[in-house]
Amino acid sequence: MSDVLNRIRSRPRGEWARVQRKELPAVADQVVEALQRSIPAMSAFLREIDREDAQWAVEQALLAALGHHSPETKETDAGTGTQADNVTAAVPIDRARRQLFTALMGEEEFPESRLTELARSARWPLPETVRAIALASPSEVPQLAAALGNALVSPVESELCLLIPDPEEDREALETVLRGRTAAVGHTVPLSDAGSSVRWARRLLELTPPPAAPGANAINGGIGTNQDGKVLFVDDHLSMLLLLQDESLACALSSRWLGPLAELTPRQSERLEVTLLAWLESGGAPEAAKTLQVHPQTVRYRLRQIEKLFGSALRDPRTRFELEMTLRGRRLLGQIRRQRTRAGRRARTNTTGVRPLGVAREARVNGL
């Protein structure tokens, strides 16, 4: 016990809650073992009940003593006052953790008593808040889950996701643990809203570009490049995720507000779009010229063209807001599509080297 306390106290104070949760199962096991050895009556009592139930009770008592929550009690049968009919059958811990993760996603209704039983079987005390992490690669998952404070781990479609209990707002610590991995960290939410943190972490991971070559430049307004599996945080990309939560709506918004540009050539339309967005973001022609790296007179000439197309609507604050939101969405969609195109090209390049000899010879004969 003293060794555990020393390990907790050796950490920075902000990490005590996470370390306590990580160490509690082992402490509870030691307490139960000590009770069995030192108190004969307690030893006889513990032989009559499941050891995991005893450890769970000790964990809850320790959590309450440490000020995390009130002690949890199991429901008793109204007629007999026994627990036998209400305690679910023992579930292997790995399966219980997966089931608990699924239950916390909120896709199905789970009574609170069922969540409590799953948490007991999973040896995962229910926290007040959680934070999700979506990983592109499942490397060293057990060690990673332990380092993050007894995190729940479960696959969600093609990604591996973790739920961190009662996360500390320490970005540097998370970045250190996740260094070298491509990962998206969700926002901190109440336990009842865990599915939201998982959903937006997965969405950010989906929008994350693959690791880029050294020297690649970030695209203004988006995620940019992902150098060496850099960790991304949902909190840093809330507006982007909001704009791109439904690509079809973003396209509908473009059709609604960018109609005056429809008669122009693609090159003309793109030039006026970037000029209008730079003007809306910066508030003036000289500032927009700096952003676009062109002469201020060039910006003023384009703005006169834009005013002819849009008329007095540009003086309306609501119209300017809608236009800026539309143009930001189009810029982000363009970035995502270019990333997907580059990823497809890399995939095709990787497959050309393993083409069968006969196919390659036929291609040269046909001049392809």
The structural domains of the chain, with segments of one domain joined by +, span 2-65, 127-213+220-243, 247-350
DSSP secondary structure string for all residues of 179-198? TTS-EEE---EEGGGHHHHH
Q: Strands 232-233, 183-185: parallel, antiparallel or unpaired by DSSP? A: parallel
pLDDT tens figures, 189-240: 999 999 999 999 999 998 876 655 444 444 444 555 445 568 899 999 988 8
User: Does 247-350 match 127-213+220-243 at the fold level?
Assistant: no
CATH code for residues 127-213+220-243: 3.30.70
Q: Does domain 247-350 have CATH number 1.20.140?
A: no
Which run of H or of E encompasses 160? strand 159-165
Q: What would you measure as the largest C-alpha separation in the chain, in angstroms?
A: 93
Structure tokens at 26: 């082992």
Whole-number Å distance between alpha carbons of 183 and 144: 12
CA distances for 30 relative to 34, 70, 111, 117, angstroms: 6, 22, 32, 22
The one-letter code for the residue type at 207 is: L
Contact call for residues 121 and 90 (beta carbons, < 8 A): yes
CA–CA gap between residue 117 and residue 83 (Å, rounded)? 12
Q: Are 209 and 226 in contact (CB under 8 A)?
A: yes
Let me know: does 17 contact 24? Beta carbons within 8 Å.
no
3-state secondary structure of 85: coil
What is the pTM for the complete model shown?
0.59
Tokens describing residue 310: 């849009």
Q: Select from 1, 114, 120, 151 the least CA-distant residue to 54.
A: 120
DSSP classification of residue 132:
E
Residue-level pLDDT, tens digit, the chain, 368 residues: 566 666 666 666 555 565 566 667 777 777 877 877 777 666 666 665 666 667 767 777 776 666 555 444 444 444 444 443 333 444 577 788 888 998 998 877 777 888 888 888 888 889 999 999 998 877 667 778 778 878 888 888 878 899 998 887 778 888 888 888 889 999 999 999 999 999 999 999 988 766 554 444 444 445 554 455 688 999 999 888 888 888 888 888 888 888 889 889 989 999 999 999 999 988 889 999 999 999 999 999 999 999 999 988 888 899 999 999 899 888 888 877 777 676 666 555 554 544 443 333 333 333 32
Find out whether 326 and 254 touch, Cβ atoms under 8 Å. yes
- Say if residues 159 and 136 touch (Cβ distance below 8 Å): yes
